[in-house]
Amino acid sequence: MDNQTISSVEKTVIEAQVVEALRTCFDPEIPVNIYELGLIYSVNVNDTGEVEVNMTLTSPHCPAAQSLPPEVETKVRGVQGVTSAKVNVVWDPPWNPSMMSEAAKLELGMS
């Protein structure tokens, strides 16, 4: 699939599969996946299947800072149709608990 242009439908499918893969990544300190925690700010799939993920961590001192981004990259690379993956850790806006999904808040007893 290298250097071939994919359709917008294929991009949408790949993006949905990437999100599902990200739902299998967990912050080791919180029993909720990183997608529901609101740590994933964006998932972008380009016309050749390259995926770029912008994510954050619960804090700059998060113990998972060294392990979580490479895990995310590995999970994204494992999605069918993905030709490459890049993970950017961003700090703006800073993460806060209001970014969690309602499901995550319920899971943590915050709703």
CB 51 within 8 A of CB 43: yes
For residue 110, pLDDT over 80 is answered with yes
Question: 79 in a domain, yes or no?
Answer: yes
CA-nearest of 24, 59, 61, 57 to 40 is 57
CATH of the domain at 26: 3.30.300.130
Question: 78 in a domain, yes or no?
Answer: yes
pLDDT of residue 27: 85
Domain count, the chain: 1
Question: 111 in a domain, yes or no?
Answer: no
For residue 28, pLDDT over 90 is answered with no
Show the domain range for 59: 8-103
Residue 93 C-beta-side C-alpha neighbours within 13 Å:
7
Question: 62 in a domain, yes or no?
Answer: yes
Q: How far apart are CA 29 and CA 62, in angstroms?
A: 9
pTM score, whole prediction: 0.91
pLDDT digits 0-9 by tens, 51-85: 999 999 998 888 888 999 999 999 999 999 999 99
Q: What is the enclosing helix (H) or strand (E) of 40? A: strand 40-45
pLDDT digits 0-9 by tens, 1-10: 446 899 999 9
Question: 82 in a domain, yes or no?
Answer: yes
33-51: average pLDDT: 97
